[in-house]
Amino acid sequence: MRRSTPHRYQEANTTLWTEALLGAEILMLHVAPVYYGIGVPRGDGSAVILIPGFLGTDVYLSELHAWLQRIGYRPYFSGIGLNAECPNLLIQRRLNGTIDQALAETGGKVHLIGHSLGGVIARSVSGQRPGDVASVTTLAAPIRGTVANRAVLRAAEAVRLQILSEHGRGVLPNCYTGQCTCNFLNSLRRKVPASIVETAIYTRHDGVVDWRYCMTMNPEVDVEVPGTHIGMAFNPAAYTVVAERLAATHSGK
């Protein structure tokens, strides 16, 4: 049962204790063939930008970053710092700079991979810069609405209040709500352009957000894997999907 919370957030009937399996996922990754690039297609040297989730930084995506480099891509950390700020400002002031750098250094379109809120940001960027993005992959990202565990909603409300305090209520009055009118939310509401390969990876055992909101409802795009929400950044099944979907952009599939 979901109960209404302030600012049109919705509470998901999830249990955070399931996320305790994260440690097992990290161990499984290190013994999985995919971790060593076995059985997955090689990359073409193109840029892949990784975007962390809510309250996360680039640091926890280091395993994914190293793996992408190992299989033949040129990975980039987002450079956004702590993901606890107005998403529109994170994109404008930090992420766009990383994208511009990757475009200049590789000479080709970039791939965006975002975990949780990072996936929501990635999808929004794909709508803002369709000519610069080859693919967008979301990992346990609530792209169809904020329906999350109560503890996460409380943290989001705290961040919202901090944003209002820092920038002024008159500047960003609806930040972190469904009433936000900035370019971030407007671009998120658009469909991902047909020129971009879109992938939404989700898990039914998500303890943080309602997994059903992590799907596009297009069976050609949505891919289910076993695992946890936080562990998606270390999930060997997700890594396999990522490698195959990235390869699809340069193999003519």
- Judge contact between 124 and 187, C-beta under 8 A: yes
Find the mean pLDDT for residues 5-26: 65
Q: What's the pLDDT at 3?
A: 37
Mean pLDDT of the chain: 84
d(CA 8, CA 2): 12
pLDDT in tens, 106-144: 999 999 999 999 999 999 999 899 999 999 999 999 888
pLDDT in tens, 70-106: 999 999 999 999 988 888 888 988 999 999 999 999 9
Q: Find where tokens 């879109």 sit.
A: 198
For 137, the enclosing helix (H) or strand (E) is strand 133-139
d(CA 78, CA 90): 10
Find the mean pLDDT for residues 218-235: 95
Q: Tell me if residue 174 falls in helix, strand or coil.
A: coil
Burial letters 208-236, b for 16+ CB under 10 A, else e = bbbbebbbbeeeebbbebebbbbbbbbbb
Q: What's the pLDDT at 191?
A: 80
Class of domain 6-248: alpha beta
Q: Find where tokens 């609530």 sit.
A: 142
In this predicted structure, the answer to whether residue 218 has a pLDDT above a threshold of 60 is: yes
In this predicted structure, the answer to whether residue 148 has a pLDDT above a threshold of 70 is: no
In this predicted structure, the answer to whether residue 188 has a pLDDT above a threshold of 70 is: no
Q: Tell me if residue 35 falls in helix, strand or coil.
A: helix
Q: What is the pTM of this model?
A: 0.85
Tell me the HSE value of 1 on the side-chain side, using a 13 A CA sphere. 1
Encoding tokens for residue 212? 């059903």
Instruction: Indicate the residue type of 160.
Output: R
Q: Tell me if residue 2 falls in helix, strand or coil.
A: coil
